[in-house]
Amino acid sequence: MTEARTVLVTGGNRGIGLATARLFADLGHRVAVTARDPKSVDDRIMSVSCDQTDSDAVDAAFEDIESNLGAVQVLVANAGITRDQLLLRMSDEEFSAVIDTNLTGSYRMARRATRAMLRARWGRLIFVSSVVGLLGSAGQVNYAASKAGLVGLARSMARELGSRNITSNIVSPGPVETEMFASLTDDQQTTIIEQVPLGRVARPDEIAETIAFLASDSAAYITGAVIPIDGGLGMGH
């Protein structure tokens, strides 16, 4: 991508989001991150407080970014949570909180972002799903449902917005070395790694590289794609 763009990475104060925000800054773009509790992590990156379960907060965050960096041209919908629980023990709150943050929250951000993208007739929407969205995962019916939902959401946006030169794609990571993965027990981590053909977890920057590619001019003809970055874990899906 040659031209400097305004990029918003949700959930960009740590993990995959922070690695992605830093890579976009390295590439010379104007970068903002949102999170509920955004620590200022990098002088080059604008940190904005935004709980994406709240539409008014989403609108306020976009106004703040627009007045400081210009309209968002690239949205990386990365923020996500887990509330793992076995099906019979899962509460409605645990199910809805994960859907509201991961799926509905990404929808809220994308809906707001497309307003300016439609006017500009240029935009990149990139959603961070997960290998478990298509594989399923015991103890994660809420999380897997939210991540599978992102595929239908992103592909519908690809169809609806394609004629305006807005692409909408999904990256689907396997296990990545972040706080989310560290919160699993040692046994759970070992079991997952044993199933990965490459035999290791990903570094956050390995996810960031594919996201940056999807935002670049080189990916101008890619839309509606689900790109696995999972060491081979999800092969066949």
Active site residues: 143
**Residue 143 CB, nearest distance to ligand NDP (Å)?**
7
Task: Catalogue the E-assigned strands of the chain.
Answer: 6-10, 30-35, 45-49, 74-77, 123-128, 166-173, 226-229
> What's the DSSP call for residue 14?
S
**Residue 19 CB, nearest distance to ligand NDP (Å)?**
8
Residues with Cβ < 8 Å from 115, sequence gap 6 or more?
Answer: none
Choose one: 33-41, 110-118, 153-161, 214-222; the region binding ligand NDP (CB under 6 A).
Answer: 33-41
Report how far residue 203's alpha carbon sits from residue 99's, in angstroms, rounded to the nearest whole number. Answer: 26
Residue 215 burial (10 A CB sphere; 0-12, 13-18, 19+):
buried
Residues 163-192 that bind ligand NDP (CB under 6 A): 173, 175-176, 178-181
Determine, following the binding rule CB under 6 A, whether residue 231 of this chain makes contact with ligand NDP. Answer: no
**Residue 158 CB, nearest distance to ligand NDP (Å)?**
19
Judged by beta carbon, residue 73 or residue 82, the one nearer ligand NDP is 82
**Strand 74-77 relative to strand 123-128, pairing:** parallel
Residues 116-155 that bind ligand NDP (CB under 6 A): 128, 130
Determine, following the binding rule CB under 6 A, whether residue 17 of this chain makes contact with ligand NDP. Answer: yes
Residues 39-98 that bind ligand NDP (CB under 6 A): 50-53, 78-81
Q: Which amino acid is at 71?
A: A
Binding site for ligand NDP (CB under 6 A): 10-11, 13-17, 34-37, 50-53, 78-81, 101, 105, 128, 130, 173, 175-176, 178-181
